[in-house]
Amino acid sequence: MSDRPRLAQHEGARHSRIHGVGGYRPERVVTNEEVCTWIDSSDEWIRSRSGIEERRFAADDETVIDMAVSAGRDALEHAGISADQLGSVIVATVTHPFQTPSAAAAVTHALGAGAAAAMDISAACAGYCYGIGLADAMVRAGTSDYVLVIGVEKLSDFTDRTDRGTAFIFGDGAGAAVVGPSDFPGIGPTVWGSKGEDWDVIRNRESWIDLRDGAKGGAAPTEEMPWSYLTMQGQSVFRWAVYSMAPIAQQALDAAGITADQLDAFIPHQANIRIVDALVKQLKLPSHVPVADDIRHQGNTSAASIPLATRRMLDEGEVSSGGLALQIGFGAGLVYGAQVIVLPDPQTLPAPGQQTGITSSRGPTGYSGRPSAATPRTSVHEPKEHHMALSENEILDGLAEIINEETGLDAADVQPDKSFTDDLDIDSLSMMTIVVNAEEKFGVRIPDEEVKNLKTVKDAVSYIAGAQS
């Protein structure tokens, strides 16, 4: 055995960090008023349900590759790194219109990064966090000195403008980060995973095979050959994000050895302002921690949303370079990823050995990145056992308070015979928020299939009373 040749292996940096963040926002601003020319809606309705005031759309001839290159150059400049120093380029996207070759290879060439390794990853709205996790591992393994991670989407190409549930949500853009060696821990352990049994709650409407079989001599998409727009089961996604992502974010904090009050920023995927607000509440973030709200002006840009929000917060002085930020992405798959990072500070680098508060994950005792058995995948506000059953009148009063908080309706108007839709004018997203809050307040679980049966206030009161007994 002693005569057998011994393999050589790379030895990388002990730590990694993000050296710079860049972004690209298309010129065209699409207002809610314009969206309302496609669907029956209003500016007030869109703002109240999503937080979105406007979004950006790329030009017709502007590609995923074009936007990725612009964001990548911006990140390289911010980091003070030249393209020929890159060992790898990772592009996270679900809207590059080619199955192959990758967008990353074209981006690498356009940037002048020589023969750098190039690959696309498909992790939807979690793609950027996945890319940061991979880049961290690559730098510390020694396979690349510097890695450019780009999240980029042209979602306007895949948005059905007739779908009232999704037409107002998505936008286009690109964000990027340069990850490289560091003499202090700059990227905490990545907590990531998937829930593949719910693969169909956010998906393309048609597969490539379906499109091929529906094609008519290569003609443009028609009613006979539908385009593969994105579809989403909003209530299921909302519930999953609200219940399941707060504990994942908490695990990322725990893995990094950080508490919520030590954060300098919270930068979640910009999916919906209501989801963001719910995460803030469940994580019990102190009021001094700024929270990204780039969705107001950019819409949901999937893999691009976190780096774009990060760059905006840095540019506007909302966060300090060198501070700690918790970032979490979640979306189609279903997949999720989160980590705590040190925000880039290209001008003033921390001194060697300076403590940042993040616990290093290097070595055999490092955090695995998988949710631990000791930390169940449930929200810190997951329904819990109530100390005593309430009467139906007490449940009615509590439910009226929840509805008042969510919709502004006078609690006195919430009577047992009132229909949620016809009398109280409560839409499906508001209804899901009410359900989530009722589950927390009354310590019960209301499955999605039961929510559909709750037509009146009386239905909800009776179900909650029965579930408590």
Catalytic positions, written as ranges: 125, 269, 300
Instruction: Please report, for residues 201, 242, 252, 271, 337, the alpha-carbon distance to residue 51 in angstroms, rounded to integers and kept in the order given.
Output: 22, 16, 26, 10, 23
Conformation bin of residue 142: beta by default, left when phi > 0, alpha when psi is -120 to 50: left
- Bridge partners, 90 (sequence order): 119, 149
How many Cα atoms within 13 Å fall on the side-chain side of residue 34? 11
Q: DSSP character for 205?
A: S
Name residue 339's beta-bridge partners: 327
Query: What does R_g of the chain's alpha carbons equal in angstroms?
Result: 24
Nearest to 396 by CA among 469, 462, 448: 462
What is the spatial distance between Cα 391 and Cα 454, in angstroms, rounded to a whole number? 19
The length of the chain is: 469
Alpha helix ranges (H) inside 80-126? 103-111
Strand ranges, E, within 123-244: 146-154, 172-182, 191-194, 202-204, 230-232
Contacts of 117 (CB under 8 A, 6+ apart): 87, 88, 89, 144
Nearest to 178 by CA among 146, 153, 136: 146
**Interatomic CA distance for residues 346 and 186, integer angstroms:** 13
Contacts of 196 (CB under 8 A, 6+ apart): 333, 334
